[in-house]
Amino acid sequence: MTQIPTSPQPAGTQGEFSDFGGKQPPAPERTSVMAVLSLILGILSLPCCFLPVVGPAIGLVGLVFAVSAMMMIGRSGGALGGKGVAVGGLVTSVLGMLAGVFVLVGVAQALGTLHNYGRFVEIAQSDDRSELEEMLTQDAADKATKAEMDQFRTKVAAELGEFSRLTPGMMPFFKNFAKFGEIPMTSIPAEYQPGMGQSLLPLPGEFEKGNAVVVVFVSTLDKTNQLPLGRVMNVAVLLPDGTLAWFIDPNREEPAPTPPAAPEPGSGEPTPG
């Protein structure tokens, strides 16, 4: 019986593409989805670093994804690609986390400083004049009379109750600036308007009967370790009816200077001729 000759096959290729146990063609390399996600999260963590907790949290998730992607790529035997993408995700995630931590520390220090100013109302309501004088500028300490302190304490307590604390967190402080915009600047005397050597801090205060804006006017030329933004020139609390309760009434009339007493006859002083 005549056999039909067949062309010889190259060595090592017999059955390479066979469905019966031979070698299969290598699957095309695909980019790791985990690596792509790590890069997206890493890039997103950079602008979000200004959001406390949120930015570092996004960076941490991106870091976990990047490390996991690199491990999966290494174990895939070439089936997974995207190592460079994972490295980019790793770098951006770490940068986002570090930036978020620095921002968080800075915000915590800033809020701690503002809380020192918020304590002014608490101290004023406790009638501790000695501690208040340490926070006031010399001019404000000279102007602050006991009668005015009592009036401020009584008015704020009647409308809002006792001061509790400043609302914690960054968002209340940012929202408070918008609320402070409702106060007409014409109601603030020129001597307390923001400008050279002075500034103001609208702080979100919590009282027994609700929340209110506490406006602290500071002298930026007179600073201490506890009050790095400046000593207090005056404080005003925005009451529910839209009026301001001033610690030192800026509209009060200064007492007229007392004229010198006339010399008594025979005191030896020359008598005008």
pLDDT tens digits for range 49-88:
877 778 888 999 999 999 998 898 888 888 888 888 989 9
91 pLDDT more than 90: yes
| Rounded-to-integer distance, Cα 184 and Cα 125, Å | 26
Residue 225 shares a structural domain with residue 166: yes
Judge whether 244 and 183 are in contact, CB under 8 Å. Answer: yes
**DSSP label at residue 214:** E
Residue 142 shares a structural domain with residue 225: yes
Residue 142 shares a structural domain with residue 201: yes
Residue 38: inside a domain, yes or no? yes
When pLDDT is cut at 50, 70 and 90, the band that residue 27 belongs to is low
Q: Which residue type is seen at 76?
A: S
SS3 161: coil
What is the CA 197 to chain-centroid distance, rounded? 24
Residue 240 shares a structural domain with residue 148: yes
Residue 175 shares a structural domain with residue 232: yes
Structural domain of 86: 30-107
Query: How many domains are contained in the chain?
Result: 2
Judge whether 100 and 130 are in contact, CB under 8 Å. Answer: no
Residue 241: inside a domain, yes or no? yes
| Rounded-to-integer distance, Cα 193 and Cα 188, Å | 7
Residue 170 shares a structural domain with residue 74: no
Residue 100 shares a structural domain with residue 140: no
Residue 217: inside a domain, yes or no? yes
Residue 195 shares a structural domain with residue 88: no
Residue 252: inside a domain, yes or no? no
pLDDT on residue 273: 47
Residue 131 shares a structural domain with residue 236: yes
Taking the CB of residue 48, how many other CB atoms lie within 10 A of it? 19
Whether this model's pTM surpasses 0.75: no
| Rounded-to-integer distance, Cα 46 and Cα 94, Å | 9
Residue 166: inside a domain, yes or no? yes
Least confident of 41-45, 126-130, 238-242: 126-130
